[in-house]
Structure formats: structure tokens, C-alpha cells
Amino acid sequence: MKLFLDASVLLAAAGSPHGSSRALLSYAPAQGWTLLSSPYALNEVLRNLTKLPAGATAEWLRLRPQVTVVDDVVSMDRPVIFAASKDRPILFSALAWAEVLLTLDKTDFADLLGGAGRL
């Protein structure tokens, strides 16, 4: 299964050795999951690593090879009915490359997914 990881999931994995985001990266090979992300998301990770505990950058460098980088997708060949957003490249890239989008970003994605209770 191809899983697209938003920057929030990647940052959580780098920032804490405990929790579901780190477990996701740990379990992926045994489960046959392909972990995907895009340059857009990875740039967001790099911009925000300094907000995490001191060891997060080193941990990110150790985790990063587990993530396959796919091209950003910034437009679609269909009508788009949600407002312009900084997260369009995340949604479009996930739609183009993966079966699942994983995010911890309830603020930006809840309205698109039917409410915060469904995230």
C-alpha cells in the first residue's frame, strides 16, 4: 500500500521516538507499505525542524531514507471545489501517487474530510 505522509507526520516521527508517527515508519517495511512524500512536504519539514527538540534533526536524517520522494502535483485535470490553500500540493500529490494520505493537520484538512472527528 502506498501511503503519502504529510509534513506533520514526518515532523512527529522525527520529534518523538514514541507515538504512532514513529511506529508507522518502523512498521512500514514489514507491512509492505511504501512511504511517499513530496519536495513540497519535505521543505516544510526542513523549515520546522528547529521548532522540535535538539535531537530531531539527527533523527530526521536517520528516518529520511525510508521515505520515497515523488513529484509535486500542483494542478489537476478536473474541477476543484475547495478554496485555494497552501495544502493543495499535498492533496493533489497524495491523490496522484498514493492510496492513503496521512496527516496530523486537523486545522487545514478537517473541512475537506468531513470534520475533525473523522481525522
How much is the mean pLDDT over the chain? 88
Domain membership of residue 94 as a residue range: 2-106
The phi, psi pair for 4, rounded to 5°, reads: -95, 125
**Is 118 within a domain?**
no
Task: Provide the phi-psi class of 98: left if phi over 0, else alpha when psi is between -120 and 50, else beta.
Answer: beta
Task: Check pLDDT > 50 for residue 116.
Answer: no
pLDDT at residue number 110:
53
pLDDT range class, residue 41, cuts 50, 70, 90: very high
pLDDT at residue number 99:
96
**Is 58 within a domain?**
yes
pTM of the predicted structure, to 2 decimals: 0.86
pLDDT at residue number 117:
45
**Is 19 within a domain?**
yes
Q: Taking residues 27-48, what's their average pLDDT?
A: 97
**Is 48 within a domain?**
yes
**Cell numbers of 61, please?**
536524517
Q: How far is 103 from 36, CA to CA, in rounded Å? A: 12
pLDDT at residue number 100:
94
pLDDT at residue number 106:
65
**Is 114 within a domain?**
no
Instruction: Provide the 10 A C-beta neighbour count for residue 18.
Output: 7
Q: How do residues 56-104 score in pLDDT, each as one tens digit?
A: 999 999 999 999 999 999 887 877 776 657 788 998 999 999 999 999 9
pLDDT at residue number 80:
73
CATH of the domain at 65: 3.40.50.1010
Could you tell me if 59 and 14 are in contact, meaning their C-beta atoms sit under 8 angstroms apart?
A: yes
Domain count, the chain: 1
Instruction: Provide the 10 A C-beta neighbour count for residue 116.
Output: 11
